[in-house]
Amino acid sequence: MEIAFFNGKFLPKNEIRISPDDRGFLFADGIYEVVKWYGGSFFDMEAHVTRLKRSLREIRLQWLENETFPDIAVELVRQNGLYEKHAMVYIQVTRGAAPRTHHFPDYPLPPTVYAFVKELPDTGKIMPDAINVLLKEDIRWSRCDIKSVSLLPNVIGNQEARENGCMECIFARNGEITEASHSNVFFVINGVLRTHPESNYILSGITRKNVIRIATESGIMVEEEALHESELENITEAFVTNTTGEVTPIKTINGKTAGDGLPGRITILLREKFLSEIPTNRR
């Protein structure tokens, strides 16, 4: 039986009921966070808690117990028998249930807090297959830095990617590549690692931040500067990063081979070094 967390309690998931007046349901008035469990520890939980707090602050949503997220996450892993496994924990906080008005309710409302855990395969240090990606116009709002549950453009972009034999959709705003539907994107051009700078147009990915640190520590030059679509023909490597997939190489972009289509030297090095920082992978 799957156990999830709902408003302070650990319950069988199929017993959880959320009000139709929940502002998460009516307005996507909420935020979320995702963290990965590696058979004994979370990777960079501190950064995830910091980002969760920032998302809450940016949408002026109070969840007083936000510091309990790490405890909730471990308890979910334990109660679902996943301690020795790999898994992701998802948490969502919405502004709660109240009669529908655009403005916040006039009286204090308890937020709705929901979290679940999902087992992930332990792929060890194996390099995942390089993926095809679709390049699309970035039609999202201009606060992509908030981890909001309002993800319709990401959902549509990812669906179109799937319909075109691709695993991910990367976005370009005025020709400049921002990020992907659920990952950040990196390129190697002239031996330099390039990615969009932190701004309101991308989510500040925790994997992104760690990959940039590892690259710098490894003597790889990093430029946080958007890549223009017209520069794609000169790239020698490309990869996406996110919490669950870490570093995943890109094979093609809109059908055109990225570099030679194989995981490149820098991509391999960054993935290996990233995984070597996870305690359980040192076994």
* Residues within the interface to ligand PMP (CB under 6 A): 34, 179, 182-184, 203, 205-208, 241-243
CA distance linking residue 262 with residue 252, whole number of Å:
10
Task: Give me the least distance between CB of 35 and ligand PMP, in Å please.
Answer: 9
Question: Where on the phi/psi map is residue 199: left (φ > 0), alpha (ψ -120 to 50), or beta?
Answer: beta
CA distance linking residue 170 with residue 19, whole number of Å:
34
Task: Give me the least distance between CB of 187 and ligand PMP, in Å please.
Answer: 15
Of 132 and 207, the one with the shorter C-beta distance to ligand PMP is 207
Of 92 and 241, the one with the shorter C-beta distance to ligand PMP is 241
Tokens of 140: 């999202």
Active site residue 209: no
Q: Residue 35 forms beta bridges with which residues?
A: 89
Q: Residue 135 forms beta bridges with which residues?
A: 170
CA distance linking residue 231 with residue 87, whole number of Å:
37
Q: b/e for 14-50, b at 16 or more Cβ within 10 A?
A: eeeeeeeebbbbbeebbbbbbbbbbbeebbbbebbbe
Task: Give me the least distance between CB of 160 and ligand PMP, in Å please.
Answer: 16
Q: Which of 53, 147, 209, 251 is catalytic?
A: 147
Tokens of 93: 């906080």
Task: Give me the least distance between CB of 204 and ligand PMP, in Å please.
Answer: 8
Of 83 and 141, the one with the shorter C-beta distance to ligand PMP is 141
List the catalytic residues.
147
